[in-house]
A and B are shown apart, each in its own frame.
Chain A
Amino acid sequence: MKSAHGNSNVTELLARAQALHHDLRFENVRAWKERNGGLAVGYLPVYVPRELLWAMNVLPVGVVGGGDQVEIIRGDAYYQSYICHLPRSTIELGLNGALDVLDGVLFPATCDVIRNLSGMWMMQFPDKYVHYLDVPQDFDTGVGGAFYRHELLEIAGALEARGARPLTDAALRAAIAAYDANRREIEALYELRRREPWKVPTHELYLVLKAGLVLPVDEHTMMLEDYRRLVIRDDARRPLDQARMLITGSFCEQPPIGLIKTLERAGCYIVDDDLVAVHRWIRGDVASLAPGQPPLDALVEAFLRNGVPSAIRYIDQDKKGRDLVERVRASGAEGVVFCAASFCDPALLDQPMLVGALDAAGIPWTSFKYAENTGQFQVIREQAGTFADSIKLWSGA
């Protein structure tokens, strides 16, 4: 039976997600703009409150570099060899016109490289809307919250000046509801993967999540629903003897899909991760957070209170690493794979602290680095395979 959403089998659905993933000229964004007459605004990793944009009929478009699809010709002229890969492919996309469809780009406070890229973008593309979104590291409503609220209103004002629909409470409520539905659907998929990882291979989930970077939120939610419904029914997906892993460190520059497949083929079920992290940055529903208050307050509270602990968020000393250990327990992971982009300051500076927490909890781990365009996985395959085998031996003993 063909669903109302139009995806009758997983292969077709994944082909569509894959096509979106490969479409570095953002054709679907172009089409959306033509249909809806709204603006499209890009955002770099990790988190921006997409609800705000969506409420103003602005399509939020996740820009996560060029993956392994883009050959770097001019991007290397902007960056030394010791800077991560994401900004050079992003600038390559900017220079080759692929991002022309965007009316602006938001650069959230993720790290100094993305921060500096915001100013470079201003100089390179003076006609576009460019904003550095400085998210607070103070999490009190009256202090960091007030500052963040002001930031959001400033963005709203700038977008309105560029022709976006004025921000209204009603529209923001609707947008928050749409993203809450999306978050619930993603959480359901993660829950299914925790329970039956063979039903939801991560290399598929990854594509479906990535599609959410460029699709309008409702469309993406439908894709998620379809995917979940189809894989649950798919009896051909049978359990294998694999070790359960949590991967962490991939919240910004995204690994090539070949790396995910390599881990799976090496005997790992990925049962939790921080891939395409914008989708899961806020835990739980936003709508219920500031009852009786304007919806903007709920959005601010969500960031302050329900943002996930992460390398790019200041964490009090006694809580550092605690969340990772809890996630390992909750997902039933048997080990942790630190999987960070080369030269990623946040992930790599964080790692020794997280390792300390895992060691204290007796959780085994391994680590390696990648670049979004890594093409060779032999070493990773061997390393992950050995790690998975050792865990299986250990748990079997």
Chain B
Amino acid sequence: MRIEYCVGIDLGSTTTKAVVLGDGARVLGRGITNSRSNYDVACQVALGEALIHTRFSLIQERLRSKDAAATTQAFQRRFRAEQYRSQLEALDATAHRLAADAPKAVIGLLDALLGSMHEEIDALYSHDAQRKSDFFRDLAGSRWMELAGTLSRGTPGAFDRLAGVFDKAILEVENSTEAVGTFDQHARNALRSMPASGGDLARGVDAVLDLELVQVGSVGTGYGRQRLPFPEGRIRSEILCHGLGAHHMFPDTRTVLDIGGQDTKAIQVDAQGIVTSFQMNDRCAAGCGRYLGYIADEMNLGLHELGPLASTSTRKVKINSTCTVFAGAELRERLSLGEKREDILAGLHRAIILRAMSLLARSGGVDEEFTFTGGVARNQEAVSALRRLIAENYGERTINISPDSIYTGALGAALFAWRDASRSSTKVESQA
């Protein structure tokens, strides 16, 4: 049996996202990966992830038991463990090849390090384990460095050597689609490690493995890159994709604000999700997500910690500049003047949102309903500042924020792909 799908890929400045649509433009799967120097690989990996996710959704649909979701999740964990194992094996082989001329002692440490990592796989993917990231680079990298630190105590130079080996090896592994392995192989291994799950799951998995996923359309979008690795005629501007994606998630959307890492976009769409006007930030990145990144670095905080800290402020400091270049200096001066971190942060959040407000005004204001997307939409302090300013300047507005907002652009691209595909298939039929 074959299932036709369309894919949209959003090649962003920090992550690449893919969304897979099935019949009726139904979202089947989503995938995300770190963007890297090789855009082709980034797109392939994101699509690969989205197709894996697609198969899981299809499996879940086929399960009859009441706890289909839980079973699928357990299966997915096992699957991920197998996938991790496959990549770790590739890392093992690559690392040993790269370290071939290293002193015996270092090779011994490398053996020990990789041995530990292999042993830890099951624990890493156990039911109650917390993983900091879903990216192999992050997961394997942090553990590698910890182990390298512990193991190389007493062996001068060993840590640097081990760290260097990882940096080189990971580049090869994450840019290799072979290392990730195939869905079939991991699914069968995962199934074998879950004997108690019974026949229902096995039947579901088998049925999905028999499916042929056939791509009938694809559209790519992304941040102002000169060369996107997509065929010509299959690229849509991120503005259009964002507008359409937001419209699909919230059909009554008329205004969309996206604050991403490198840029901010204010978009107006009509009832069909067609963009009627848009504005982007000026050539400097002031007031974009990256600005918060600088601030977090400067304060030695995680990006996700900024919002919560800012929300404890009782007295907002007025910040006039959202210039990334001066962010550090301004911050240090404020701190030296005795201002509290949370008060400064609250001021910074408001300053960023004020920049966004001016883009919104340039694009034509804030209409009902309003959808907020991008990384900054996950920051509660930014959201509440935006909520207040919109209410003050445009009156009460419904503000939509989707947990999947990071996929808005990719979703829009997938919808374009789906439209193109259905149009060309009608054409083929009518010609026949």
Q: Do A and B touch, yes or no (CB under 8 Å, in the complex)?
A: yes
Q: CB within 8 Å of B: which residues of A?
A: 68, 71-77, 80-81, 371, 373-376, 378
**Is B109 positioned at the interface, with any CB of A under 8 Å from its CB?**
no
| Cross-chain contact B358 with A74 (CB below 8 angstroms) | yes
B120–chain A nearest beta-carbon distance, Å: 49
Using a CB-CB cutoff of 8 Å, which residues 412-426 of chain B contact chain A?
none
A-B contact pairs, 24 of them (CB 8 A): A68-B320, A71-B354, A72-B354, A72-B358, A73-B354, A73-B357, A73-B358, A73-B393, A74-B361, A75-B358, A76-B358, A76-B361, A77-B359, A80-B282, A81-B282, A81-B284, A81-B286, A373-B320, A374-B320, A375-B319, A375-B320, A376-B330, A376-B333, A376-B334
The 9 closest A-B pairs by CB, nearest first: A76-B358, A77-B361, A77-B362, A77-B358, A378-B333, A373-B320, A81-B282, A375-B320, A376-B333
Contact A375 B318 (CB under 8 A): yes
Q: Which residues of B contact A71 (CB under 8 A)?
A: 318, 354
Q: Which residues of A contact B286 (CB under 8 A)?
A: 81
Contact B389 A73 (CB under 8 A): yes
Measured CB to CB, the closest approach of chain A to B393, in angstroms, equals: 6
Nearest CB of B to A299, in Å: 40
The answer to whether B355 and A76 touch across the interface, beta carbons within 8 angstroms, is yes
In addition to A73-B361, A74-B361, 14 A-B residue pairs with Cβ atoms within 8 Å of each other are A68-B320, A72-B358, A74-B358, A75-B358, A76-B354, A76-B355, A76-B357, A76-B358, A76-B361, A77-B358, A77-B361, A81-B286, A375-B320, A376-B333
Q: CA separation between A219 and B330, bound complex, in Å?
A: 41
Taken residue by residue from 72 to 108, chain B's Cβ proximity to chain A (1 for < 8 Å, 0 otherwise) reads as 0000000000000000000000000000000000000
Contacts of B393 in A (CB 8 A): 73-74
Q: How far is the CA of A375 from the CA of B320 in the complex (A)?
A: 7
CB proximity to A under 8 Å, residues B335-366: 354-355, 357-359, 361-362
Q: Report the bound CA distance from A374 to B284 in whole Å.
A: 19
Q: Which residues of A contact B361 (CB under 8 A)?
A: 73-74, 76-77
Nearest to B326 among chain A residues (CB) is: A376
Tell me the interface secondary structure of chain A in the complex: loop
Indicate the member of A68, A80, A376 with the most B CB atoms within 10 Å.
Answer: A376
Closest to B334 in A: A376
Task: Find out whether the CB atom of B320 lies under 8 angstroms from the CB atom of A371.
Answer: yes
**B351 CB, min distance to chain A CBs, angstroms:** 10
Residues of B within 8 A of A375 (CB): 318-320
State the CA gap A74–B357 with chains docked (Å). 8
Bound state CA distance, A75 and B393, in angstroms?
13
A376 contacts which chain B residues (CB < 8 A)? 330, 333-334
Q: How far is the CB of A84 from chain B (nearest CB, A)?
A: 14
Report the contact-size class of chain B (Cβ under 8 Å from the partner). 10 to 19
Cα distance A68–B321 in the bound complex, in angstroms: 13
Interface of B is mostly: helix
A163 to B373 Cα, complex, angstroms = 53
Contacts of B355 in A (CB 8 A): 76
A68→B357 CA distance, assembly (Å): 19
Q: How far is the CB of A333 from chain B (nearest CB, A)?
A: 29
**Chain B residues near A378 (CB-CB < 8 A):** 333
Which residue of A has the minimal Cβ distance to B393? A73
User: In the complex, what's the smallest C-beta–C-beta distance from A87 to chain B, in angstroms?
Assistant: 14
In the complex, how many residue pairs between chain A and chain B have their CB atoms under 8 Å apart?
A: 38
A128 to B330, CA, bound (A): 41
- Bound-state CA distance A25–B358 (Å) is 23
Residue of A nearest to B354 (CB): A73
- Closest-by-CB residue of B relative to A81 is B282
What sequence of 0s and 1s flags, for each residue 137-153 of chain B, a beta carbon within 8 Å of any chain A beta carbon?
00000000000000000
**Chain B residues with CB below 8 A from A374, complex form:** 320
Q: How far apart are B21's CB and chain A's nearest CB, in angstroms?
A: 36
Neighbouring B residues of A77 by C-beta, 8 Å: 358-359, 361-362
* A76 proximity list for chain B (CB < 8 A): 354-355, 357-358, 361
Query: Which residues of A are found within 8 Å of B330, using beta-carbon distances?
Result: 376
Output the nearest chain A residue to B323 by Cβ-Cβ distance. Answer: A81
Q: Give A75 to B357 CA distance when docked, in angstroms.
A: 10
Provide the residues of chain B in CB contact with A68, threshold 8 Å. Answer: 320
The distance in angstroms between the C-alpha atoms of A319 and B361, with both chains bound, is: 47
B70–chain A nearest beta-carbon distance, Å: 49
Cβ–Cβ < 8 Å partners of A73 in chain B: 354, 357-358, 361, 389, 393
| CB nearest to B365 among chain A residues | A77
| A271 vs chain B, min Cβ distance (A) | 29
Question: Which residues 270-295 in B have Cβ within 8 Å of A in the complex?
Answer: 282, 284, 286
Residues of B within 8 A of A74 (CB): 358, 361, 393
Question: From B363, which residue of chain A is reached at the shortest CB distance?
Answer: A77
B282: which A residues are within 8 A, CB to CB? 80-81
How near does chain A come to B319, taking the closest CB pair, in angstroms?
8
Q: Which residues of A contact B284 (CB under 8 A)?
A: 81
Interface string of B356-398 (1 = CB under 8 A from A): 0111011000000000000000000000000001000100000
A residues less than 8 Å from B334 (CB atoms): 376
State how many angstroms separate the Cβ of A311 from the closest Cβ of chain B: 25
Smallest distance from the beta carbon of B152 to chain A beta carbons, Å? Answer: 44
Query: A373 — which chain B residues lie within 8 A by C-beta?
Result: 320
Min distance, Cβ B162 to any Cβ of chain A, angstroms: 44
* CA of A371 to CA of B330, assembled, Å: 15
Residues of A within 8 A of B358 (CB): 72-77
Measured CB to CB, the closest approach of chain B to A69, in angstroms, equals: 10
A80 contacts which chain B residues (CB < 8 A)?
282
- Chain A positions within 8 Å of B357 at CB level: 73, 76
A325 to B319 alpha-carbon distance, docked (Å): 38
Q: How far is the CB of A235 from chain B (nearest CB, A)?
A: 34
Q: State the CA gap A76–B359 with chains docked (Å).
A: 8
A26 to chain B minimum Cβ distance, whole angstroms, is: 22
The smallest C-beta distance from A237 to any residue of chain B, in angstroms, reads 28
Report Cα–Cα, A74/B364, bound state, in Å: 11
CB B61 to nearest CB in A, in angstroms, measures 48
Residues of chain A with a CB closer than 8 A to B320's CB: 68, 371, 373-375
CB of A89 to closest CB in B, whole Å: 11
Most chain B CB within a 10 A radius of its CB, from A68, A74, A371: A74
Alpha-carbon separation in the docked complex, A240 to B286 (Å): 42
In the assembled complex, the CB of A24 is this many whole angstroms from the nearest CB of chain B, namely 15
B389 to chain A: closest residue by CB = A73
Report A98 CB to chain B, min CB distance, Å: 15
Chain B: CB-nearest residue to A371: B320
Give bound CA distance, A375 to B282, whole Å: 23
The distance in angstroms between the C-alpha atoms of A337 and B362, with both chains bound, is 37
Specify the chain B residue showing the minimal Cβ separation from A73.
B357
A379 to chain B: closest residue by CB: B329
Contact with A along B295-326 (1 / 0, CB 8 A): 00000000000000000000000111000000
CB distance from B334 to the nearest CB of A (A): 8
User: Nearest A residue to B286 by beta-carbon distance?
Assistant: A81
B363 to chain A, nearest CB (A): 9
Distance in angstroms between the alpha carbons of A375 and B393 in the assembled complex: 25
Most-contacted residue by chain B among A68, A71, A75, A373 (CB, 10 A):
A71
Given the complex of chains A and B, what is the CA–CA distance between A74 and B390 in angstroms? 12
A74 vs B362: C-alpha distance when bound (angstroms): 9
In angstroms, Cα B330 to Cα A72, docked, is 19
Residue of B nearest to A88 (CB): B358
* Bound CA span A81–B323, Å: 11
The interface centre, meaning the residue of A71, A74, A77, A371 with most chain B CB atoms within 10 A of its CB, is A77
Separation in Å of the A257 CB from the closest CB of chain B?
Answer: 15
Closest Cβ–Cβ distance, residue A38 to chain B (whole Å) = 34
0/1 interface trace, chain B 101-140, chain A, CB 8 Å (1 if under): 0000000000000000000000000000000000000000
